[in-house]
Amino acid sequence: MANQAIGILETKGLIALVQGTDAMLKAANVELTGPKKGIGGALVSATITGDVAAVKAAIEAGAESAGNYGEVVSAHVIARPHDEVSAVIPTTSKPAKKTSK
């Protein structure tokens, strides 16, 4: 995760998060690093990584889009996280590509 920024978008309600995540992934060259995370009380979050400028642009676009569909609780960018922060960031492996027979 060296030299990668982390962006976290937290919303109240899943629809807002899905809209925000879609906007983030379309706005900049970022990667969704984990599945949505349910926090409780209808709070859900998504985490992205990428270059600092890309993550900032993506979080801004995601927060704006999510705000049109629900409540944005938090939108935050960590520009240069310590290497050990990756231990608390949700990660997921890429799904295997389907091959046709």
What residues are paired with 6 via a beta bridge? 49, 78
Mean pLDDT of the chain: 86
Can you tell me the distance from the alpha carbon of 38 to that of 45, in angstroms, rounded to the nearest whole number?
7
- Of residues 12 and 85, more confidence is placed in 12
The CA distance from 93 to 18, in Å, is: 20
Q: Per the domain annotation, does 56 fall within a domain?
A: yes
What mean pLDDT comes out for the span 67-75?
95
> Looking at residues 81-96, what average pLDDT do you find?
71
Residue 19 in domain: yes
**CA 36/CA 29 separation, integer angstroms:** 19
CATH number of domain containing 71: 3.30.70.1710
Q: How many CB atoms lie within 10 A of CB 14?
A: 14
Residue range(s) defining the domain that contains residue 75: 5-84
What is residue 49's predicted lDDT score, i.e. its pLDDT?
93
Average pLDDT over residues 40-53: 90
Taking the C-alpha atoms of residue 101 and residue 91, their distance in angstroms, rounded to an integer, is 31
- How much of the chain, in percent, has pLDDT values that exceed 70? 83
